[in-house]
Each structure stands twice: as C-alpha cells, then as structure tokens.
Amino acid sequence: MLISYFHTSEAVPAVQPVAEGGPDAAVVIDVLRATTTIAWSLQNGAEAIQAFADLAELEAAAMAWPAEKRLRAGERGGKRVDGYDLGNSPLAVTPELVGGKRIFMSTTNGTRSLAAVRAVPLLVTACLPNRTAVAQRLLAAQAERVWIVGSGWEGDYSLEDSLAAGAVIAAAQQADAAAANGKTVATGNDEALAALALWQQWQHEPEACLRAASHGQRLISIGNHDADFACCAALDNLTIVPTQTQPGVIQAD
C-alpha cells in the first residue's frame, strides 16, 4: 500500500480512474472538527451525513428531506451558522438529537476536501478516535494507492490534520506488520513522510499539538472548547469507519 498525503483540497490532483494510476481509496481528515463530528454522529445513531461545500446546495437538499428526519449542521469560521441546528462540535451530536436523522453538513474546510475526492472508489473519513479502525479498513480492502487529504484552513496548511494523517499511516504500518503477510505500507510522497514524522514527535501528547496549532488557537480565542479538544484528541476509542455510500453521503461501515 502506497499512501500519499495532500494537506488541503486545493493540493489534490485531478482524480484519475484506478486503471490509469488513480487512487483506489481516499481518506479525508478534518480533526478540528468535522471528521470527528461525523464519526461521533454515526456512532450515536445518525442515519447519514450528507456533505456540502455550499450552503445554498445544502438548503435545497435538506428541504427535500422530511423535516422530522433532518438536521442542518453549518460552521463558518469556527462558529455555528445562524439558524442551524448544529455547528461543528462532536459533543453536540448526542444520541437523543441525531438518532435516526440525516445530518446535512457544511463546514469551512472539511466538506471541500470530501468533494475533492468524491470520485474515488473507496472514500472514508478519519480522525484520531478512529484512526486504527480506518487503517484496518484500508488493509481489509487491499487498497494499493491511498490518498489522505487534509482540510487545512481556507487553503493553508493545518498541523492537526497532518498529525492525524501520520497517525493513520502509523496505524496501517503497525497493523500490516502484525498481520505478517509480507505486504508493506509505504509513504508515497514527502508530505506523507513528514506527517509520519510529526506523529512520531507528538504521539504521546496529541491534545497539546491540537492546542498549539493555529486553528486550535483560533478556537481558543472564540470560546471555551476544552471538551472539544479532549474529544478530538482521544485515540482509538471509536471503531466506526464513516464511508461514502453514494456521492456526498457518508454512512457507518
């Protein structure tokens, strides 16, 4: 398995078919906080997450869904969009609120990364809480070329997404070694190698890395997000793997 990392959606090359050398799997990461919220939403019983880069498209799709079965989750600049049911906090998606409902979601960065790799045959989302489950899913699928896509911040590099990319790569390497099946997991570009090195540096204090990152500082500046930081930095406490089942629709695997 060859894993390449692209730090934002803007850095992702055009997706080619697998037969022409394109990826057969993609992993989208937005640690603070979209992919953490997606994982916990599905863990807590949401029927699906439907992702949109554009709020107008979200509104049109949500209006076509039964009112009692939908929630709108919108975040811009770290804050909830006015009038929406949810923002982008993994703590808000309680079983009582999201159980059985479809969440129509748009965030500042993460939903753009999902759109960039929507055409890849296997598309999953990862965060620190499910990083080992995602790695095992990639190995079980016998993926050969994997693109990990971070979300960054409005086109800029994001430390926390690179940390999680490195965490997924490390977990894949560890699971592959444990299987002792002769296969290897290798980094496909310098960005992936750098992400792995970043994880090796911060693996024992991931929350400190999230807080030190520029987006972590941004969240700190707009309110108390201590509980969100703790949730987003937790390691391997989820086994759910959010998986695209139709374009833009993410469901539990």
Task: Specify the pTM.
Answer: 0.95
Query: Across the chain, which distance is largest between two alpha carbons, in Å?
Result: 53
Q: Give the whole-angstrom CA distance, residue 236 versus residue 231.
A: 11
pLDDT in the model for residue 153: 84
Q: Give the whole-angstrom CA distance, residue 177 versus residue 66.
A: 47
Q: Give the whole-angstrom CA distance, residue 140 versus residue 78.
A: 35
Do 198 and 16 touch, CB atoms closer than 8 A?
A: no
Give how far Cα 47 sits from Cα of 105, 164, 183, 201, 236, Å.
13, 26, 35, 37, 22
Task: Give the closest residue to 87 by CA, choosing from 152, 24, 34, 130.
Answer: 34
Which stretches of the chain score pLDDT less than 70? 181-182
pLDDT in the model for residue 253: 82
Do 195 and 165 touch, CB atoms closer than 8 A?
A: yes
Q: Give the whole-angstrom CA distance, residue 145 versus residue 163.
A: 20
All domains of the chain, ordered by start, with CATH? 2-252 (3.90.1560.10)
pLDDT in the model for residue 182: 67
